[in-house]
Amino acid sequence: AGQTALVTGASSGIGEACAWRFAEAGCKLVLVARRAERLAALQQAIQQHYNVPVHTIVLDVQDLEAIARLPAELPAEFREVDILLPNAGLALGVASVHELDMQDAATMINTNVLSVMALVRAFTPSMVVRNRGHLLFMSSIAGREAYSGGGGYCASKHALEAFATSARHDLVGTNIRVTSIQPGAVKTEFSVVRFKGDGSKADAVYEGIHPLLAADIADNTLYACTRPPHVQVAEMLVFATYQCSAK
Ligand code: NJP
Instruction: Name the residue at shortest CA distance from atom 5 of ligand 1.
Output: 190
Comparison of pLDDT for 9 and 195, the residue scoring more: 9
**Residue pLDDT, tens place only, 4-61:** 999 999 999 999 999 999 999 999 999 999 999 999 999 999 999 999 999 999 999 9
> Domains, the chain, ranges and CATH?
4-238 (3.40.50.720)
User: In the chain, helix, strand, coil percent, each to 5?
Assistant: 50, 20, 35
Known catalytic membership, residue 206: no
Testing ligand 1's pocket by substitution, the residue of 30, 61, 90, 189 carrying the most ligand atoms inside 8 A of its CB is 90
**Residue pLDDT, tens place only, 106-121:** 999 999 999 999 999 9
Closest CA to 7 of 51, 42, 44: 42
What ipTM did this prediction achieve? Answer: 0.99
DSSP secondary structure string for all residues of 199-241: HHHHHHHTTTS--EEHHHHHHHHHHHHTS-TT----EEEE--T
